[in-house]
Amino acid sequence: MTYARLLDVFYTTHNPDRQCAPGYQYRSEVFAYSDAQSDAAAKAGKDRRASTRVTPASTFWMAEAYHQQYYGKKGGGFCKI
């Protein structure tokens, strides 16, 4: 899958301007490994008027076990938008 296609799927299936929980820790974010990816992500977000932050990729740390599969554990439906 190309990065452009990944961005298209992300922005088609996720509306970053309609988060359920407010706050900095719940913001939408796209991580880029190069300037080209960063530029493509910024353009894709701007084209869709989305407030997604684009950040250089760095070390990925797995979340604690209680955060894993959160949607499935909580049964979905916790967000009414």
Per residue in 5-45, pLDDT (tens digit) is: 999 998 888 776 666 666 666 678 899 999 999 999 999 98
- Which pTM does this prediction carry? 0.68
pLDDT of residue 46: 86
E-strand stretches of 22-66: 29-32, 53-56
Per residue in 42-68, pLDDT (tens digit) is: 999 888 877 788 999 999 888 888 878
Task: Check if the beta carbon of residue 27 is closer than 8 Å to that of residue 53.
Answer: yes
| Beta carbons within 8 Å of 41's beta carbon, 6+ residues apart | 7, 30, 32, 52, 54
pLDDT at 78 over 60: no
